[in-house]
Amino acid sequence: GNTEEAGRLLGSKNVRVNCLDEHGMTPLMHAVYKAKIDMCRLLLRHGADVNCNEHEHGYTALMFAGLSGSKEITWMMLEAGAETDVVNSVGRTAAQMAAFVGQHDCVTIINNFFPRERLDYYTKPQGLDKEPKLPAKLAGPLHKIITTTNLHPVKIVLLVKENPLLAEVEALLKCCRVLDLICEKCMKQREMNEVLAIKMHYISCIFQKCINFLKEREDKLDGLIKRNVSLLKGRDTDGFPVYQEKFIRECIRKFPYCEATLLQQLVRSIAPVEIGSDPTAFSVLTQAITGQVGFVDAEFCTTCGEKGADKRCSVCKMVIYCDQNCQKIHWFTHKKVCKILKDVHEKQELEAAKEKRRQEKKRERDEAQAASLSPTNEEQSDHPPEATEEVDSHHAVKRTEESVLNKQPSAPQLHLDNHSESETNLADIAVQKVQESEE
């Protein structure tokens, strides 16, 4: 644990930085497992081998990092060149081990790590090529998209759109080719990496879609996001983005290696779900690729899928956005269902309020009953009210997730009724309110 002392010892010649203990663990493995960041850094500086694989059960430093749950150390190991595809003696990768012990942030980091050098490889002519497969100027923007953990198709289209180098047919064709090659490599190498393979394939599918729109549509990439048949267009009844759902399902189905276990898992989770029900293809895919569990669509921006969005449409309170920009992009389709969703929301709130009153009355009754019991029964009588409380809060969260998150009473929206006839007005109100809540 003493970094200074260790530094001094490592400085002397007769201490080997990669020495093994009786279980085949290196000092780096010990430091990683105990999440000693400074010690890890010191050992790496002194040449500790991040891929040493002499452990009795085939554990690597990266596996210990995943088990420790330290995001920083997991990053450090990856940056130091830790192989992600190595498996331990029972055939598990570092990401799988981290998932097994519930360290989902580490899983996300490992699964989405893609060293820039691996992409830069394609920026140099290989073999008989006269020119590189990927122009050097595209490596940066493409790397940014490859390492993203937000796989929302709209987000990826927005990332393409914001970069003029990328938002061009020729450039995207080259990127697709490179993504397909990486995908193939992931599947054909000895230690298969299905997660990365499916991610590469999925991004390539979205690029392909972008290419079609850039070629054929006048409105270019905007058309892919905002037109009548587009990624964001919601259906009339509840605003569910049917086209987006079908698109993601199709991408998954088109994955060329049907024998992949992960593909089969994805298909099994998605196929029985009716379009419009949970889980969405986006959430299933995100869970598979990031390793996150307990994915709730409600916590993600309706437009771009970014996590932690917290600006709510002030009228219906049923959709959330990162910011006003995301709200504006979505408004063309949301305006058609905002009123419907508002009614749904108010009904939910009303029911929740009723339910709460019912529970309160029940609790009062129980308490009265408990009070009338003899003192010897006191211990027993403590239990029912507690249980009801739990049931109650569970119920409330489930039914009116929105209102609980919002911590707002149920009927504050009356003044909005005057405006709700006109769509434009509604837009003004909604945008305004988001602005207010930003302050």
Which residues would be at the binding site for Zn ion (CB under 5 A)?
301, 303-304, 306, 313, 315-316, 322, 326, 338
Which CB, 63 or 315, lies closer to Zn ion?
315
Single-letter code of the amino acid located at 214? L
CA distance 36 to 58: 21
- Toward Zn ion, which CB reaches closer, 62 or 309? 309
151 contacts 285 by C-beta, under 8 angstroms: yes
Dist. CA 201–CA 204, nearest whole Å: 5
Count how many Cα atoms sit within 13 Å of the Cα of residue 269 in the half-sphere of its side chain: 18
- Say how many residues make up the chain: 439
The structure tokens listed for 425 are 């007005």
- Rounded CA gap, 123 and 423, in Å? 50
| C-alpha to C-alpha distance for 373 and 375, rounded to whole angstroms | 6
- Comparison of 44 and 322: residue with beta carbon closer to Zn ion: 322
**Least separation, in Å, of the C-beta of 304 and Zn ion?**
3
Q: What's the closest the beta carbon of residue 147 comes to Zn ion, in angstroms?
A: 19
Nearer to Zn ion, 49 or 323 (CB): 323
The 10 Å Cβ neighbour count of residue 82 is 22
CA distance 107 to 74: 9
What is the three-class DSSP state of 414? helix
User: At 320, which helix (H) or strand (E)?
Assistant: strand 320-321
Q: Nearest distance from residue 344's CB to Zn ion, in Å? A: 11
User: Which is closer to Zn ion, CB of 114 or CB of 332?
Assistant: 332
Please calculate the CA angle 179-183-188 and round it to the nearest 5 degrees: 145
Compute the least distance from the CB of residue 365 to Zn ion, in Å.
39
Give the separation between CA 187 and CA 254, rounded to whole angstroms. Answer: 15
CB of 402 to Zn ion, least distance (A): 11
Given a contact cutoff of 8 angstroms between Cβ atoms, the answer to whether 206 and 156 are in contact is yes
Using an 8 Å Cβ cutoff, are 291 and 98 in contact? yes
Closer of 283 and 303 to Zn ion (Cβ) = 303
Whole-number minimum distance, CB 283 to Zn ion, in Å? 16
Tell me the closest approach of the beta carbon of residue 342 to Zn ion, in angstroms: 7
Are 295 and 283 contacting, i.e. CB atoms less than 8 angstroms apart? yes
Closest contact distance (angstroms) between CB of 430 and Zn ion is 6
CB of 171 to Zn ion, least distance (A): 25
User: Which residue number, 6 or 430, has a Cβ lying nearer to Zn ion?
Assistant: 430
Indicate the residue among 306 and 392 with the shorter CB distance to Zn ion: 306
Q: Which is nearer to Zn ion, 193 or 286 (CB)?
A: 286
Integer Cα distance of 36 and 1 in angstroms: 8
